Structure 1
Amino acid sequence: MALAGRTGFLALAIAGAAVLGSGRWFDAPALEAWRTVCVAIALQALPFLLLGTVLSAAIGAFVPAHFFAKALPKRPALAVPVAGAAGVVLPGCECASVPVAGSLIRRGVAPAAALTFLLAAPAVNPIVLTATAVAFPNDPAMVAARLVASLATAAAMGWLWLAFGRPEWLRLRPRHTGHQPGQSRWEEFRLGFQHDFLHAGGFLVLGAMAAATFNVAVPRTVLDAFADRPWLSVLFLAALAVILAVCSEADAFVAASLTGFSPTARLAFMVVGPMVDLKLIALQAGTFGSAFAVRFSAATAVVAVACSVLIGWWIL
């Protein structure tokens, strides 16, 4: 019954977007743009969500629980930077990192370390850093600044959760995990993948619809109004990153196109986006609960902006 509910939720979200997008209500140019942006965000994120749910299911089915206890330091405070460093070598998008982090917590990894990985993996993996280097071909300092600011934000949030986080805020949705007697590992993998993909997919579609709404509603002339004000430009591009919900593998090209803004403001766009955006907030709410998503996203946005300003002042 629960599976049918999740399947129906995902199907309803996708069908609703398709019906609205194909009807006469969407003949107006602005609404046509909304449909285009919504579909683009969902399709851009879907392969990475698929990758994340496959990896999450594989962890639950094939990786022994004691592996993570051996791979990470026993002290959570030391496990946080190790988890952040792991994000440098593991390709992934923000959509993929949410189910993986959930699976790690279920397998006994300290939440602080898992949440650090959740933030670091989509921001500092090799694909993202390479894309940033291509987008800023004559500015290697921007690549270094993104790496340092993103790692600093992820580690800071891990330590902040360790110090102030409450277990009742983090409510993982119940899920069947672990190998059961008489059931094959591949069956465990199938059940885990089915649960995570159907559950997170519906929230992804809802997040894409919200991001498209804000994307179309904000006039382009607003960009020019903020570009000449240093502090406001940083805050504006940080907010824009949340709203646009551009995949981390592509956001550097968007930032590079915003030539009217300062390097620090564009750095904030690239640091905040992979860690806090509308679709990611929706995915976190669906995986960890809304109480967690609201608190964690708000704190991450503040820390990411602060780190961007400090690192931008130092490196850029």
Structure 2
Amino acid sequence: MTDVRVPVLDRPAEPTAARRVDPTWPLLGAALALVVVLRSVDVPAIGWLNNFLLVYVGLLVEAVPFVLLGAAVSAAIEVYVSVEAFGRLARAPRAAQVAVASCGGLLLPVCECGSVPVARRLLLRGLTPSAAITFMLAAPIVNPVVILSTWFAFRGRTSEGLMVGGRVVLGLTIAVVTGLVMARALERRPLAPSSAPQAGASGHDHGDHGDHDHGTHDRPSRPRRLAEHTGAEFLAMMKYMLIGAAVAAALQTFIPQRSIDTVATATLLAIPAMMVFAYVLSLCSESDALFIASFVQFSPAAQLAFLAFGPMLDTKLTAMYVGAFGPAHARRLVVTITVTTLVLCLWLQAALLVW
């Protein structure tokens, strides 16, 4: 009997990742639709609902343009910028690497989720640990979109200059100090090239920016990829923003004003409370200033603690740090960021009280 072999045609791989639907999106979409419907209906008998909807919708209206702008910038980096160009810093002296890396967000304005895989890639390509960690922590703050949104949130207030300039200076200081502290640990125990960052664990997967094969002939055009990445980035950020806006509106609606004022006026309690708030909300740095600006009861030092701590450490970033650097390095990183932020903000609060 003749063995007849039937040729098997190659079938394209199923794009399972693209077809996978986040189960939280239907619930969030339904909740947002309910908010819009209720906001359009006059319900004067339910005062708390009116207040909640007013704060919630107001936060969303102000934040969405900056989230979209941040998503577009991040997508442009993904499509057009290669990390190879930044990797040339590895041949420069250590002091020069740290100095350039601290301001790297101006040239490579990635958000906090995108900075983790980029920093790891730079570290594996020879950049000193102090420079790579400094870049990772400073880029989400020393970022044109973030600086613009911070100014927009506090414009017209007497603390406008302090909030914008203070956020940049405080963020740079924390990033450099943490980078120098982490340098010794990473030099003693370098990262294993085989371990990959688990960006997907955070629900905000950016991938390694610029580390893709753009020369493949079957890839879509750059404008199309730019639009696709922008949409994906925007949806990923919006999920956290919708949740964060709801939490912020609920706090201002249901927590008694007296309790908020008590925490705000307690110097030793207000700053750590804002840090915990930033950690739990896990907002993107492009929109977090618009949320915290509404908490006018808190001092500028407490608000700066929120603005500096959130882009460096929150729930999603903790998972990414463990995946990118391992549990031991991630633990040291978390402790260093927390202690440095707390100490600097307490010193700032003391200085503001003296002045």
Q: Is the 8 A contact 1:52 1:99 kept in 2?
A: no
Partner of 1:16: 31
Q: Is the 8 A contact 2:308 2:341 kept in 1?
A: no
Q: 1:18 to 1:43 in 2, by over 3 A?
A: same
Partner of 2:235: 198
Give the AA of the match of 1:222. Answer: S
The range that moved more, 200-209 or 166-175, is 166-175
Partner of 2:20: 5
Residue 213 of structure 1 is aligned with which of 250, 273, 280?
A: 250
Residue 38 of structure 1 is aligned with which of 37, 56, 59?
A: 56
Give the AA of the match of 1:15. Answer: A
Q: 1:140 to 1:114 in 2, by over 3 A?
A: closer
Instruction: Report how far residue 221 of structure 1 moved.
Output: 0.6
Give the AA of the match of 2:240. Answer: F
Partner of 2:174: 153
Alignment of 1:223-262 (within 5 A): 223-226=260-263, 229-236=266-273, 238-239=275-276, 247=287, 249-250=289-290, 254=294, 257-258=296-297
TM-score normalised by L of structure 2: 0.63
Q: Is the 8 A contact 1:69 1:109 kept in 2?
A: yes
The 1-side partners of 2:56 and 2:108 are apart by 24
Partner of 2:127: none
Instruction: Report how far residue 133 of structure 1 moved.
Output: 7.4
Q: Is the 8 A contact 1:272 1:301 kept in 2?
A: no
Q: Is the 8 A contact 2:103 2:138 kept in 1?
A: no
Partner of 2:137: 115
Residue 216 of structure 2 is aligned with which of 162, 173, 181?
A: 181
* RMSD, aligned CA: 4.5
Higher helix content, 1 or 2: 1
Percent of residue pairs bearing the same amino acid type: 19
Partner of 2:81: 63
Instruction: Report how far residue 226 of structure 1 moved.
Output: 3.9
Q: 1:124 to 1:194 in 2, by over 3 A?
A: closer
Give the AA of the match of 1:171. Answer: Q
Q: Partner of 2:303: helix, strand, or coil?
A: helix
Which has the higher Rg, Structure 1 or Structure 2?
A: 2
Q: Partner of 2:199: helix, strand, or coil?
A: coil
Q: Is the 8 A contact 1:131 1:250 kept in 2?
A: yes
Q: 1:14 to 1:196 in 2, by over 3 A?
A: same
The 2-side partners of 1:290 and 1:20 are apart by 36
Partner of 1:50: 68
TM-score normalised by L of structure 1: 0.69
Give the AA of the match of 2:305. Answer: V
In the alignment, does 2:147 pair up with 1:125?
yes
Q: Is the 8 A contact 2:111 2:140 kept in 1?
A: yes
Partner of 1:171: 198
Q: Is the 8 A contact 1:56 1:193 kept in 2?
A: yes
Partner of 2:126: none
Instruction: Report how far residue 220 of structure 1 moved.
Output: 0.8
The 2-side partners of 1:252 and 1:158 are apart by 27
Q: 1:162 to 1:170 in 2, by over 3 A?
A: farther
Q: Is the 8 A contact 1:272 1:304 kept in 2?
A: no
The range that moved more, 239-248 or 200-209, is 239-248
Unaligned stretches of 5+ in structure 2? Answer: 1-15, 124-131, 325-329
Deviations 1:34-92 (A, max 9, x none): 333333333333222222221222112112332111367767786444333344x5798
Q: Is the 8 A contact 1:133 1:143 kept in 2?
A: no
Moved over 6 A (4+): 139-143, 165-169, 241-246, 289-292, 294-298
The range that moved more, 42-51 or 167-176, is 167-176
Partner of 2:302: 268
Q: Is the 8 A contact 1:38 1:209 kept in 2?
A: yes
